[in-house]
């Protein structure tokens, strides 16, 4: 039988009701006696049917909050995760306040990383690339909606469209799940683009590719920072050192997991 997870069912139903009734959470909780009107019931039934079929809440609503900003998301884009905010924090800490700075986001998806950085640092030039045209469309719409002008969106498979370009900071939340990992068949991941999630037998194919090519696109002293899986930190630090990166480090997310690693050119 189809059922919601009992630990989150209440909050999920409240979210669906908020969406149908166009009310805030405070309003919803303040009116527990309110019944759905006849004209509201079909819409609620439809949203509940989709959720029971496993569709992620973020796709049902068409948006997700990340780093304090609202991002449009579609099945063409990964759903931004809270742990990825760590990568934004680490990136912002490496952007000098008043000097020109060129930032590159590889695999921008909805634009969560690129647009959060561009929004926080209006003086920075951000380039966001993705191999998916559909994802780029979503990122473009997010830039417009959020009124962010300091982002250039380009179609590029990692560095393929960036010949001769150099950056001070390269960030990425690449696919890093092993292609055979059972998690890909569970929860929200079933509905997200496989190309944004899975990367070869050990999940490190794209990270290897990015590390191998990044140095040629970094200015002297420039940083490469990227997210990876919960058990990949040791391996990616090794790959970074072998590629000649200095100041190699990993940082822990709020759950205490080494989630982002990086190095300096």
Which residues bind to ligand GLN, rule: CB under 6 A? 78, 80, 84, 107-110, 112-113, 173-175, 196
> Cβ 23 to ligand GLN, closest distance in Å?
28
Contact 59, 79 (CB under 8 A): yes
For 205, counting Cβ atoms within 10 Å of its Cβ (0-12 exposed, 13-18 middle, 19+ buried), the class is: middle
> Cβ 79 to ligand GLN, closest distance in Å?
7
Tell me whether residue 71 or residue 245 sits nearer to ligand GLN (CB atom): 71
Tell me whether residue 150 or residue 195 sits nearer to ligand GLN (CB atom): 195
Contact 92, 120 (CB under 8 A): yes
> Cβ 105 to ligand GLN, closest distance in Å?
6
Rounded Cα gap, residues 137 and 221, in angstroms: 33
Tell me whether residue 17 or residue 66 sits nearer to ligand GLN (CB atom): 66
Tell me whether residue 196 or residue 236 sits nearer to ligand GLN (CB atom): 196
> Cβ 173 to ligand GLN, closest distance in Å?
4
Residue nearest to ligand GLN (CB): 109
Q: Is the dihedral of CA 86, 91, 93, 97 positive or negative?
A: negative
Q: How many helices (H) and strands (E) does the chain have?
A: 9, 9
């Amino acid at each position: 039988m189809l059922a919601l997870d009992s630990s989150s069912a209440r909050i999920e139903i409240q979210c669906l009701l908020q969406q149908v009734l166009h009310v805030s959470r405070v309003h919803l909780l303040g009116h527990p006696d309110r019944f759905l009107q006849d004209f509201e019931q079909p819409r609620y039934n439809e949203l509940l049917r989709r959720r029971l079929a496993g569709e992620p809440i973020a796709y049902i609503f068409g948006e997700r909050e990340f780093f304090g900003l609202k991002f449009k998301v579609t099945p063409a884009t990964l759903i931004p995760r809270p742990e990825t905010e760590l990568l934004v924090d680490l990136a912002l800490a490496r952007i000098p306040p008043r000097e020109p700075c060129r930032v590159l986001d590889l695999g921008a998806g909805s634009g969560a990383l690129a647009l959060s950085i561009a929004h926080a640092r209006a003086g920075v030039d951000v380039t966001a690339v993705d191999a998916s045209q559909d994802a780029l469309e979503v990122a473009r719409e997010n830039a417009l909606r959020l009124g962010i002008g300091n982002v250039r969106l380009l179609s590029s498979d990692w560095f393929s469209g960036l010949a001769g370009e150099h950056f001070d900071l390269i960030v990425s939340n690449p696919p890093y799940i092993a292609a055979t990992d059972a998690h890909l068949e569970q929860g929200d991941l079933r509905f997200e683009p496989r190309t944004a999630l899975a990367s070869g037998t050990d999940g490190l194919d794209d990270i290897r590719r990015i590390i191998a090519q990044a140095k040629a696109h970094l200015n002297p002293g420039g940083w490469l920072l990227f997210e990876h899986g919960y058990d990949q930190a040791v391996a990616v630090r090794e790959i970074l050192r072998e590629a000649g990166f200095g100041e190699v480090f990993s940082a822990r997310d709020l759950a205490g997991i080494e989630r982002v690693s990086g190095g300096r050119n």
